[in-house]
Amino acid sequence: MEKFELHILGCGSALPTTRHFSTSQVLNVREKLFMIDCGEGTQIQLRKTRLKFSRLNHVFISHLHGDHCFGLLGLISTFGLLGRTADLHVHAPKGAEQLFAPMLEFFCNHLPYNVFFREFETNEPKMIYADRSLTVTTIPLRHRLPCCGFLFKEKQRPNHIIREMVDFYKVPVYELNRIKNGADYVTPEGEVVPNAKLTRPAAPARSYAYCSDTIYMEQIVDQIKGVDLLFHEATFAQADLPRAKETFHTTAEQAGRIALAAGVKQLVIGHFSARYEDESVLLKEASAVFPHTILAKEMLCVDI
């Protein structure tokens, strides 16, 4: 099966600690790299993964708080120093270009490549990227400023041809695309050969949902229902629920409730508050509601 991997580069929240880097992730889809958020230290962490910088052409920024975007300028500058020539597309909420354009003009005014800001609204789901194998749709969230998550979904691939059966029935080459897409084959004698005899199903399409930062929102459940992997922020423990509400964040228990209601296959929690020196309390709370929960940590790679 081709790659669909999540790499955690940083899983801390706004206050820096020696334990965690600021939020950033990379999704590797068939060797195409998609960055999700870009906090301080992201480019250092990216180097540690040994993923190829040249395969990263799209960066998705959830919102314009510094712990999710302060690393972007440095990353863009480093790409220039490396002699990058391919375009870089930054997908971010409205206002990102106005914020970053002056800094790029000052610090990166002789880049050998183009940076394009693809801005979007955050009040309703919108498909903001698509290629032959993948779509990316925004997930509206509620935070202290416009914010959204992202739903990455593979497109279902056509069925696989069973070569021995195609040869047995002498199927012409020009019929193969129709058969891959579910059509039966009719022989010159009029015999109908069912598609199930000629093909086997492709592997199910995979999906990943990223939700950070947000207050507890049951409204997202329908959109993320059944995803293979959900990353949901779990900034606070339930004992700090008043602080979570005040800062528009989620507790670990609430993240577990979202995963349970959505019927996801696995939950990763992250965006940990600096107040917790041992995040096992957060894992315990989320796992009590949704057992298939793991803690995010730097350099964690999850095969989806």
Catalytic residue ranges: 67
CA–CA distance, 216 with 84 (Å, rounded to integer): 40
CA–CA distance, 178 with 197 (Å, rounded to integer): 14
CA–CA distance, 84 with 101 (Å, rounded to integer): 19
On whether the CB atoms of residues 99 and 86 are closer than 8 A, the answer is no
Sorted by sequence, the CB contacts under 8 Å of residue 106 that are 6+ apart come out as none
Residue with tokens 């929102």: 217
On whether the CB atoms of residues 250 and 141 are closer than 8 A, the answer is no
Residue with tokens 């202290």: 144
Best CA proximity match to 151, nearest among 172, 135, 173, 130: 135
Token pair of 96, please?
């990102």
Token pair of 229, please?
């992997």
Terminal alpha carbon distance of the chain:
10
Q: For the chain, what's the residue count? A: 304
On whether the CB atoms of residues 9 and 298 are closer than 8 A, the answer is yes
CA 104-29-287 angle, to 5 degrees, is 100
15 φψ region: left (φ > 0), alpha (ψ -120 to 50), beta (else) = beta
